[in-house]
Amino acid sequence: MTSALLPAAALHPPHEPALLSQYRHVRTATETLVADLSDADATVQSMDDASPAKWHLAHTTWFFEEFVLAARIPDYELVDPDYRYLFNSYYEAVGPRHPRPQRGLLTRPSLDEVLAYREAVDESMLTLLGSAQTDDEAALIMLGLQHEQQHQELLLADILHLFAQNPLRPAFAPELPEPVIADPRPAPDWIGFDGGLVEIGHRGETFAFDCESPRHKAYLAPFTLCSHPVSNRQWFEFIEDGGYQTAGLWLSDGWRWVCEQGILAPLYWEEREGTWWQMTLRGMHPVDPDSPVTHVSFYEAEAFARWAERRLPTEAEWEHAARSLPATGNFVEGRALRPLPDRQNTSGVLRQMFGDVWEWTGSAFLPYPGFRPNGGAVGEYNGKFMSGQMVLRGGSCVTPESHIRATYRNFFYPHQRWQFTGVRLADDV
């Protein structure tokens, strides 16, 4: 992924405070997330889709060392040449890499050694940031920071999945204060949009990943969006009405997935004496009926929409509806670390479009008209994943707030649900 670039010939002043400050902030935020993890917590890999916290710490550091320091500094010496193999993720142009399903076998280097690796690379990066940067170099550093923010979210989702496999159900953050929720909470209603010819995608000088561009025109038929994401209370009704046992509600691939995996409820839900409980980053808690449902796959989202006699929004509908809204909400900085009920008594408007849960759309992750990936290894960031995945929008309760915007396109495979994924319904007019 790359940002939209300013003219390549321009230079940022040597005292560039914003980029330096953002670098410190993002790198410190990552290490704060792992401050209470043991070496064992940071090493274990709970499934192939997840990565150990230690690997996230090292990979985000490898990104700066590989693409910034080694490319910019003559005769730069890698902190450890073996890390180029261990912590490459999927960049074929860089060279071979340790297999993803075996990341949890890396008992060495230790967590302390990985943190020392981060410190060494940070020292070189801070020195580099004290000198002038071309716009292309500054854009690459910004890409590295946005990349690390993605991994902050992945790290939390992966830790939740790991701790959920432990019969003790340990809490990642048991001592955080419980948020105050407004009451009464507004009931969901439907917000109408005229449709027509609209513009979709990023344009301008602010950062965006390459898959958010080019900005282009799209035609939308008139549509409506539900004011709120689907709640756990609504999901209770879906379960009680036999939603997971009714083949006619499901796509063929989804029904096969349900049957083969024995799916009966969202991920991390457990029924205890007639009450649903859910594993969270705060440990096990009863499912809050008024919070947005989370940890559901695209298959589940699509089946629920069919059960509700509605549909999922397209990503163009979602972006058009969200474009004029502030990108504020329940993000990781709020420290709730779980989706929350609507905290404002505002009705007749779209609520919780940003934060709380990533919202599945009915759109496949495909290139926009005119999209061209950049050359070189960094060009592998998004384009080669445009096959078989679905788009999600809006961010979640573990997304950094500065990382999200209306044009942001997240993407996962239809069966995946360990991320904080939820549902907002749409309908035709």
Sheet holding 410-412, edge to edge: 410-412, 390-393, 358-364, 421-422
User: DSSP character for 375?
Assistant: S
Distances (CA, A) of 252 to 184, 263, 423: 40, 15, 20
Q: Please indicate, yes or no, whether residues 242 and 97 belong to a single structural domain of this protein.
A: no
Residue 136, token pair as written in the block = 């292309």
Mean pLDDT of 65-71: 94
- Which of 110, 130, 164 represents a domain boundary (last residue)? 164
Q: Is residue 1 part of a domain?
A: no
- What is the extent of the structural domain holding 266? 190-428
d(CA 75, CA 70): 8
Q: How confident is residue 385, by pLDDT bands cut at 50, 70 and 90?
A: confident
Q: Is 43 helix (H, G, I), strand (E, B) or coil?
A: helix
271 inside domain: yes
Here the CATH number for the domain that contains residue 225 is: 3.90.1580.10
Predicted confidence (pLDDT) at residue 406 exceeds the cutoff of 60: yes
- Residue pair 312/361 in contact (Cβ under 8 Å)? The answer is yes
293/220 same-domain check: yes
Q: Which of 147, 164, 181 is the last residue of a domain?
A: 164
Distances from the Cα of 313 to the Cα of 219, 391, 423, angstroms:
14, 10, 9
Structure tokens at 106: 């890396």
**Do 267 and 418 touch, CB atoms closer than 8 A?**
yes
Distance CA 306, CA 312 (A): 9
Same domain (yes/no): 287, 145: no
Assess whether 117 and 209 both reside in one domain.
Answer: no
CA distances from 236 to 231, 274, 290, 357 (A): 9, 12, 11, 18
- Is 149 found in the same domain as 92? yes
Q: Tokens 């935020």 correspond to what residue?
A: 29
**In-domain check, residue 175:** no
pLDDT at 4: 30
H or E segment to which residue 127 belongs: helix 111-129
Rounded to an integer, the average pLDDT of 383-412 is 95
Q: Establish if 239 belongs to a structural domain.
A: yes
Give how far Cα 49 sits from Cα of 100, 153, 384, Å: 8, 14, 17
Cross-strand pairs, 190: 226
- The total of structural domains in the chain comes to 2
Those residues with Cβ within 8 angstroms of residue 25's Cβ, 6 or more apart along the chain or in another chain: none
Same domain, 23 and 103: yes
Residues 26 and 108 in one domain: yes
Q: Could you give the CA distance from residue 145 to residue 404 in angstroms, rounded to a whole number?
A: 13
> Which among 60, 153, 173, 45 has a CA at the least distance from the CA of 115?
60
Tell me the C-alpha distance between 59 and 401, whole Å.
Answer: 22
Cβ count within 10 A of residue 368: 17
Q: Is residue 86 part of a domain?
A: yes
User: CA 56, CA 118: separation in Å to the nearest integer?
Assistant: 11
pLDDT per residue as tens digits for the range 290-310: 999 999 999 999 999 999 999
For residues 156 and 203, membership in a common domain is answered with: no
Residues 125 and 258 in one domain: no
Residue 14 has pLDDT above 80, yes or no: no
Instruction: From 130, 147, 164, give the residue that closes a domain.
Output: 164
Tokens 């209370």 belong to residue? 233
DSSP string, 154-208: HHHHHHHHHHHTSTT---SSTTSPPPP--SSPPPP-EEEE--EEEEES--SSS--
Residue 65 located in a structural domain = yes
What is the CATH number for 108? 1.20.120
pLDDT band per the 50, 70, 90 thresholds, residue 181: low
Quick count: other Cβ atoms within 10 Å of Cβ 252?
8
Tokens read off for 25: 């902030």
Find out whether 208 and 406 touch, Cβ atoms under 8 Å: no
224 shares its domain with 114: no
Closest by Cα among 52, 33, 56, 30 to 43: 52
pTM recorded for the entire structure: 0.93
- Say if residue 377's pLDDT is above 80: no
With respect to residue 185, please indicate whether it lies within any of the assigned structural domains: no
- pLDDT confidence of residue 178: 72
Evaluate whether 195 touches 427 at the Cβ level (below 8 Å).
no
Asked if the structure places residue 178 within a domain, the reply is no
Examine the pLDDT at 411 and tell me if it is beyond 90: yes
Residue 386 pLDDT class (50, 70, 90 cuts): confident
Whether residues 202 and 149 fall in one domain: no
Say if residue 159 is in the same domain as residue 196.
Answer: no
Of the two residues 179 and 206, the one the predictor is more confident about is 206
Looking at the DSSP bridge assignments, the partners of residue 270 are 277
pLDDT of residue 154: 98
